[in-house]
Amino acid sequence: MSGIAACSAGIASKAVALSCGVASAAADAQEAVRQPTASCGRSKVVASDDATVVATIAGKVRGFRRNGIYIFKGVPYGASTSGANRFMPPKEPEPWAGIRNALAYGRICPQQDSAHFDTDGKNLANADEDAFLLHRGCAVQVPGEDCLRVNIWTPEINGAGKRPVMVYMHGGGFSGGSGHDLLSYEGESLARNHDVVLVNHNHRLNVYGYLNLEALGGEDFALSANIGMLDLVAVLKWVRSHISIFGGDPNNVTIFGQSGGGGKVAALMAMPVAKGLFHRAIIQSGPFIRALTPDYSQQVAGMLLAELGLQKSQVRELQKIPVDRLSGAATEAIRKTPRPKTARRDSFDESGWGPTVDGRVLPVHPFDPAAPAISADVPLITGTNLHESVNGVDHPGVTSMTIEEMNRRVHEIYGSDAGDIVAAYKREYPDATPFGLYATIATARWRIPAFTQVARKAALGAAPAYSYVYSWRTPVLDNRPGTFHACEISFAFDNAEICDHYSAGDPAAFVLSKQMSTAWVDFARTGNPNHSGLPHWPSYTQESRSVMFFDAPCVARNNPEGEGIEIISRLQSS
């Protein structure tokens, strides 16, 4: 039976209800017992001192309830990071009296001009299709240093529930993005349809989270290179202390993230201070192998001082400089700092903003030369999309690429080995267009480190590791966009209904969204992503190298792209 056929019965009732945006008739019936209903089967929104208030350690917060899910936004998990707290480890939030509203998202960390650059640094001046497909700009983004906030979606508050907890790390490298810049991140569907507690958050990024001042400021700034990662540890500690009152199980916490968020998951797996705060891990298109070296991040710090006209003895002046000036100088400092000579051409993150192997917070590289032994008991899913940084989004000419042009482009990258590489990928994907082949070959810079991650994790011989490639194509825009970076997030969150610019209301999209989100949740619940609506997904071993392709239908394949990747890997190491 195909993946679609196996899962279709399970989502039939949900598809019937799409016109009203509700989960299912059964869910509505259950919810009607608990609260009044409005027209179109939707529950009324309730925000009440009697019904939607939770007491945190710092004070009481008021959220709201919609469609059976309690939602709390912008809850502080740390104090403001401005002034003397800038570049310092996160502190506990200041207590407050009375009831504080948790009805709207909090501030985001200051970052580069979001009108012209996306969270991975790509120029978006003309990226209308990217914004359309990913529902960018779905919520107000207000920058500020008081940005240590969490958002929670849960079926229950002030009860005795012990649901799996899923803590999401947003994308944007280690320099941009937020927990609410994409509609995909909305956690209501995942919480309601799968009975889990979903948490996401904002934290310090770029210069505010990863400026290595240890060599300039001594012990006062000894941890500054990894402050952004310590914010994430503070999130997980907040979850451990509070999630029970939100219906979650603090002893069953999964961290997951996409792109830079996946990199954060990888780094947390290598951090002793995070040990025991999470129990499963999922890395989506974030194959972070090596972190920054101290030499590089210290060069960035020195360049920043030069940009601001400061001497080494004036390092504390950095805590007083206005945000706009500091952010602008930081952008220039990164631009002017040479990329490390030791960084490989196709490496994923060994320059720019990010965590540093400092011997304290991050004692070793996340997945080099091996998977982190400290997280050997943590099951892992890691994977990539078929086409990551090269795809048809905002490129209307891709359909006209000829075989000759494709061969020329691959030759420019791989020289005399281009013919063998193209031939290997043609055997793997015989129906691919010339551009499709080129885009898949170009994604080797993502696929190779992702396969490296899963292989090194499996080699520990402890908890299982699973590998995937997401390859479903949206029919929107004449089927041109392909399987682009970040497109899978909405399906992992079971958000095919609300993210309809991408799903297009396609029945296959709703099936796949259910298959993928259920796999993610079952993995969070048990450490095993297999379920009845998905073909069997074997764990990865060096012998089988099994990879699940999320598509219509889903299928598990052994050693996909193996021949081409072997050639490219050999070239990288030569």
Residue 526: give its domain's CATH number: 3.40.50.1820
Domain assignment present for 507: yes
Tens-digit pLDDT profile for the chain (574 aa)? 333 333 333 333 333 233 333 333 334 433 433 444 444 456 789 999 999 999 999 999 999 999 999 999 999 999 999 999 999 999 999 999 999 999 999 999 998 744 334 444 444 545 788 999 999 877 788 999 999 999 999 999 999 989 999 999 999 999 999 999 999 999 999 999 999 999 999 999 999 999 999 999 878 999 999 999 999 999 999 999 999 999 999 999 999 999 999 999 999 999 999 999 999 999 999 999 999 999 999 999 999 999 999 999 999 999 999 999 999 999 999 999 998 876 554 455 678 999 999 999 999 999 999 999 999 999 999 999 999 989 999 888 888 999 999 999 999 999 999 999 999 999 999 999 999 999 999 999 999 999 999 999 999 999 999 999 999 999 999 999 999 999 999 999 999 999 999 999 999 999 999 999 999 999 999 999 999 999 999 999 999 999 999 999 999 999 999 999 999 999 988 7
Domain assignment present for 506: yes
pTM: 0.91
Domain assignment present for 522: yes
Q: By the 8 A CB rule, do 238 and 72 touch? A: no
Domain of 451 in residue numbering reads as 379-573
Domain assignment present for 116: no
Q: What's the rounded Cα separation, in Å, for the pair 209 and 88? A: 9
The rounded radius of gyration (Å) of the Cα atoms in the chain is 23
Domain assignment present for 401: yes
Domain assignment present for 358: no
CA separation, residue 289 to residues 158, 458, 545 (Å): 40, 15, 19
Q: Are strands 163-169 and 248-258 parallel, antiparallel or unpaired?
A: parallel
Give the max Cα distance, the chain.
71
Catalytic residue among 43, 175, 244, 259: 259
Number of domains in the chain: 1
What are the structure tokens assigned to 438, written together? 């080129």
Domain assignment present for 194: no
CA separation, residue 23 to residues 43, 161, 425, 510, 568 (Å): 12, 21, 41, 12, 45
Domain assignment present for 27: no
Q: Is 259 a catalytic residue?
A: yes
State residue 573's pLDDT score. Answer: 81
